[in-house]
Structure 1
Amino acid sequence: MGVGTYIAIYFIVWWTVIFAVLPWGVRSQHEDGAQEDGTEPGAPQRPLLIPKMLVTTVVAGVIVGLFAWSVETGRLTLDMFPMPVKMYKID
């Protein structure tokens, strides 16, 4: 696979991981008892986005690195995945 393919895979994995990491450690304004006027009670008090983005970047890098290693060493090939069965035959 080319570098562009791995970049695309990294992009998809990064977004998947960020949505998995976002809820970690979030406390709402209602839970902290510090709700400000004009805000949603369920809004996060401190979302901690920078640390979550750093964790996501590292985790996505490890996942894509392991995937790239397994593809490049031949441990993972396209033949290992089932292909859809053709429903009809065209002559």
Structure 2
Amino acid sequence: MLTTIISYAALYFVLWWLCLFIVLPFSLRTQEEEGEVTLGTVSSAPTGRHMRRAFLRATLLTAILFAIYLGITKGLGYTIDDVPRIVPNYVYGNG
């Protein structure tokens, strides 16, 4: 039981980081786009505080993907061992 909880937490953590890097570029405004470049920074540096929104979006996306994962594994009973049966086995050549 504890192993399952720790495994789910680890999977959620890794999935959350992946989703964070996916959602980071969305709604990002640079200093150049705003027309206010702070002295000592590059013009492509972000303006404002968009990280809170990025964290919330990553959390929402992760929750949706994790729910889909749980639905497939717990609801439908699929495991990683079932993947070869889902993907067709194509045999090339005559043998």
> Which TM bucket (shorter chain)?
0.7 to 0.9
In the alignment, which residue of structure 2 is the partner of 1:80?
82
TM-score, normalised to structure 2, is 0.75
Paired with 1:71 and 1:12, the residues of 2 have a C-alpha distance of 18
Give aligned-pair identity as a percent.
Answer: 28
In the alignment, structure 1 residue 4 sits paired with structure 2 residue 1: no
Paired with 2:40 and 2:48, the residues of 1 have a C-alpha distance of 17
Paired with 1:16 and 1:39, the residues of 2 have a C-alpha distance of 27
Deviation at 1:28, TM superposition (A): 1.1
Deviation at 1:52, TM superposition (A): 1.4
Q: Unaligned regions of 5+ residues in structure 1, if any? A: 83-91
More helix by share: 2
In the alignment, which residue of structure 2 is the partner of 1:85?
none
* 1:7-31 superposed Cα distances (whole Å, 9 cap, x missing partner): 1110111000000100111121112
Q: Unaligned regions of 5+ residues in structure 2, if any? A: 85-95
Deviation at 1:69, TM superposition (A): 2.3
Supply the AA of the counterpart residue of 1:50: R
In the alignment, which residue of structure 2 is the partner of 1:42?
44
Question: May I ask how many residue pairs the two structures share in their alignment?
Answer: 82
Supply the AA of the counterpart residue of 2:19: V
